[in-house]
């Protein structure tokens, strides 16, 4: 059981930097290198110790991480940024990409002008600006500040823990 628990590792600055196994996380905590930020709820008992497994730990000393590559602009990454939801109505069905300022009006294909959009809103918007079609973006289209961990390791099938959410928001880190 403990082997399957994954723990999100935050730098001292609360920036997510890694995901590790529970064993390693517990070892770092016992060595005084990290502290628990969020608990998993899973109880561990040994002869001398009894504690809850962490879901998120934070390193007590800052670790310098080489600058991550920029998040490449791609359909897949726009969908990820927008959490697979239409940025006008929130629907998760029949998604496509929408140019906020239409291409025909000089709109560019980049992070700031492309959002995930359902076909219905896309058809309604047509060749207009959102406001002209009575649509409003749920949040401004921005380039992610950093590479959220689960994006960097497409081969690592780590499903993010519920308690990781607030630390993995691409907009929360500066
Ligand atoms: Zn929509």
Task: Give residue 78's pLDDT.
Answer: 92
**Is residue 79 located within the same domain as residue 129?**
yes
Both 92 and 43 in a single domain?
no
Tell me, what's the pLDDT at 145? 66
What is the reported pTM?
0.55
Consecutive 10-residue averages of pLDDT for the chain (174 residues): 79 86 89 92 80 91 75 88 94 96 96 96 96 95 68 51 71 42
Q: Is 174 among the domain residues?
A: no
pLDDT at 172: 44
* Ligand 1 centroid – CA 105 distance (Å): 21
Calculate how far, in angstroms, residue 149's C-alpha sits from the geometric centre of ligand 1.
28
**29, 45: one domain:** yes
Instruction: State residue 165's pLDDT score.
Output: 73
CA 146 / ligand 1 centre spacing (Å): 27
User: Ligand 1 centre and the CA of 14: distance in Å?
Assistant: 34
pLDDT in tens, 40-64: 878 878 788 788 889 999 999 998 8
Q: What is the pLDDT of residue 174?
A: 36
Which residues form the domain of 110? 75-133
Residue 40 backbone phi and psi in degrees, to 5? -85, -25
Residue 155: the pLDDT is: 47
Strands (E), the chain: 6-10, 16-21, 34-45, 50-59, 95-99, 114-118
Q: How many domains does the chain have?
A: 2
């Amino acid at each position: 059981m403990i082997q399957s628990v994954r723990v999100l590792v935050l730098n001292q600055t609360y920036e997510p930097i890694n995901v590790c196994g529970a064993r390693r996380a517990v070892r770092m905590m016992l060595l005084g290198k990290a502290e628990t930020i969020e608990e998993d709820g899973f109880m561990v008992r040994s002869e001398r110790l009894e504690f809850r497994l962490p879901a998120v730990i934070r390193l007590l000393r800052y670790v310098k991480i080489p600058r991550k590559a920029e998040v490449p602009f791609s359909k897949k990454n726009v969908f990820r940024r927008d959490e697979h939801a239409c940025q006008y109505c929130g629907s998760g069905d029949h998604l496509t990409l929408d140019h906020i300022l239409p291409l025909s009006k000089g709109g560019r294909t980049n992070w700031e002008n492309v959002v995930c959009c359902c076909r219905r809103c896309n058809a309604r918007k047509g060749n207009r600006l959102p406001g002209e079609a009575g649509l409003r973006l749920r949040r401004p289209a921005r380039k992610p500040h950093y590479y959220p961990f689960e994006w960097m390791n497409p081969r690592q099938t780590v499903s993010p823990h519920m308690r990781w959410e607030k630390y993995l928001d691409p907009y929360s880190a500066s």
